[in-house]
Structure 1
């Protein structure tokens, strides 16, 4: 996997086909703040399945140990600017 690129929302939208077919991870920014990531996956279904399973187990462990709900955990990763709401 290549170096993380940082592109604006419009740039990502306008060149999505190119970015989605590439192998580099992308940080997508809006007004200078990262609002999301695109991380391309290798097409090894076994590896992807194992990674998703491990992620699920890890999230479950975090929820159990912290006492957080899924919604509370999701809020910790919500980078949206709430001032606009």
Structure 2
């Protein structure tokens, strides 16, 4: 699997197309390769599930009372001090 070569300006101008591509691209400046761009296909369902889980955790944190937050901060400070 060889990488196609494109200049920096062409790469910048066509970035959206390169992100959707399946093959890596060698980015060149004055004919010398300065880097490689390797597009990564992601699993959108996994991304959505992770985002939902993060949202649920945030909702739980926002529902905490001031006393619960203070207790967490105190616990964090104690554990941090013990690690030193």
In the superposition, the TM-score normalised over structure 2's length comes to 0.46
Which structure is larger by alpha-carbon Rg, 1 or 2? 2
More helix by share: 2
